[in-house]
Amino acid sequence: MGLGASRAVNMSGTQAQLVKELISGDNVVIFSKTYCPYCTMAKEVFNKINVTYSAIELDKRDDADAIQDILGEITGARTVPRVFVKGQCIGGGTDVKKMYEAGKLEVLLQ
């Protein structure tokens, strides 16, 4: 597919339901890839403040592209990490680090 081409995303299908269940399944959910430095950055922030999280490692899943398409519909971006706190997307690794440094992440987690 060329740049600007978009796939139709079935937001009522079983994979969309799975993504929504994963997002609501824990206080902190990180859609990640094991080799991604920004994913590691996000996880390190939560490790530093002793907050457990669920990491969905997309590079270990056969449905990674479909999940990233669904995340794109939900969040406006299909890049990883996609970090959710209490069901709300707070962005990626840099966003998490900035929120932590500004003291806003702990407030959000309370």
Q: Which structural domains are found in the chain, ordered by start?
A: 14-109 (3.40.30.10)
Q: What length does the chain have? A: 110
Q: Residue range 24-44: average pLDDT? A: 97
Single-letter amino acid, residue 15? Q
Closest by Cα among 38, 50, 34, 42 to 84:
42
Upper half-sphere CA count for residue 18 (Cβ side, 13 Å)? 13
pTM: 0.91
Q: Is the pLDDT of residue 109 over 70?
A: yes
From residue 11, alpha-carbon distances to 40, 67, 104 in Å are: 28, 11, 31
pLDDT at 8: 74
Positive/negative CA dihedral, 34, 11, 16, 51: positive
4-28 residue pLDDT tens: 445 677 888 889 999 999 999 999 9
When the pLDDT of each residue in the chain is averaged and rounded to a whole number, the result is 92
The more confident residue out of 80 and 3 is 80
